[in-house]
Copies of this chain bind each other. A is one copy, B any other.
Amino acid sequence: MPIKSVDSVPMEPVRLGEGAYRQVLIGPDEGPHFALRRFVIEPGGYLPKHTNTVEHEQYVLRGRARIGIGDEIFEVGPGDVVFIPAGVPHWYRCISQEPFEFLCAVPNKEDTLQVLEETAPD
């Protein structure tokens, strides 16, 4: 697969929160060490507070969001780089009129996701 367009990759709804979708751009079957995914959160959508057992390396492509990482809250937009260490609680809320889009790379290790709060974050 040397080259593919992001638009050619199927978008699957995330079964968490609201208005969130995921594309696997380079999967664990393609990249030997880590996977590259794109997430899209629609205006007003969110991913609730949760933890993963793998770290996230992220890059914001479009839109704006409030992100909670540990006890801190950040507002992010295009060109922002986000690092979420393994095990640290985090959440996302799209606060722009356009979708919030970001890349998220994770190592090819088993990931257990634990939801900490089902309700929508601020």
Contact = CB atoms under 8 A, between A and B. Distances in A.
A30 B69 CA distance: 16
How many residues of A sit at the interface, in one of the four size bands?
35 or more
A3 B81 contact: yes
A14 to B, nearest CB: 19
Contacts of A55: 31-33
Secondary structure at chain A's binding surface: helix, strand, loop or mixed? strand
A103 B33 CA distance: 17
Number of copies: 2
Contacts of A107: 32-34
Nearest to A9: B81
Interface in A98-112: 103, 105, 107, 109
Nearest to A82: B3
A30 to B, nearest CB: 6
A84 B25 contact: no
A75 to B, nearest CB: 9
